[in-house]
Amino acid sequence: MPTPILLLRHGQSEWNAQGRWQGQADPPLSELGRQQAFRAAARIGSVDIIVASDLERALHTARIISEQIGVGPVVIEPLFRERDAGEWSGLTRDEIAAGWPGFLEEHKRPPSVETDESLRERTTEALANVEREYSGADVLVVTHGGLVYEIERGHGQPFERLPNLGGRAITLHGDRVEVHDRILLVEGDDITTVPAQI
């Protein structure tokens, strides 16, 4: 039975607002991020289950949406965490450029950053858990930009920055993933202008 999922990036965090790479660090939502989650809830539509990363910015976003639409409790799945940013966690792009010249432009990462392969395996396992537990349900997964990018890359989608409360619709057919359109749940002044970072 097909399982439709909306993979949704969390609301703006305090570090998003400062332009800092987060990875698996755990800064809270900013005030704008909380407001984004409230506004997004009105556009979610009907879902049966809400699953979230265990990181505060995703879990808080999910709980706000859960309270607003009356679906819960939120199921926590740590496998939906952001890519580990290693020693880049907490740094701005300028700080990374100063410490690792050329890395960002050449799409290189230090060894401490989680590899594409590791993120892909973790994402596959997380989706398999959702399929096993909630097959056929309409599922909202509140997660992180890096995880959405990994799914998109694995399905031939071109890279494009994902704003906070932006997402990608997918459908699980057993172990096959069908990728659909991106969805943006906030507009105008509610959109975070700082680029998504791991």
Instruction: Say whether 10 is catalytic.
Output: yes
Angle in degrees, CA 156, 136, 34, rounded to 5 = 70
Annotated catalytic residue within 77, 82, 114, 152: 82
Whether the CA torsion 186, 32, 34, 91 is positive or negative: it is positive
Burial of 158 per CB tally in 10 Å (0-12, 13-18, 19+): exposed
C-alpha closest to that of 121 among 79, 85, 160 = 79
Residue keyed to tokens 């056929």:
136
Count CB-CB contacts under 10 A for residue 176.
Answer: 9
CA–CA distance, 48 with 69 (Å, rounded to integer): 10
Q: At what angle do helices 31-41 and 56-69 cross, to 10 degrees?
A: 40
Q: Catalytic amino acids?
A: 10, 82
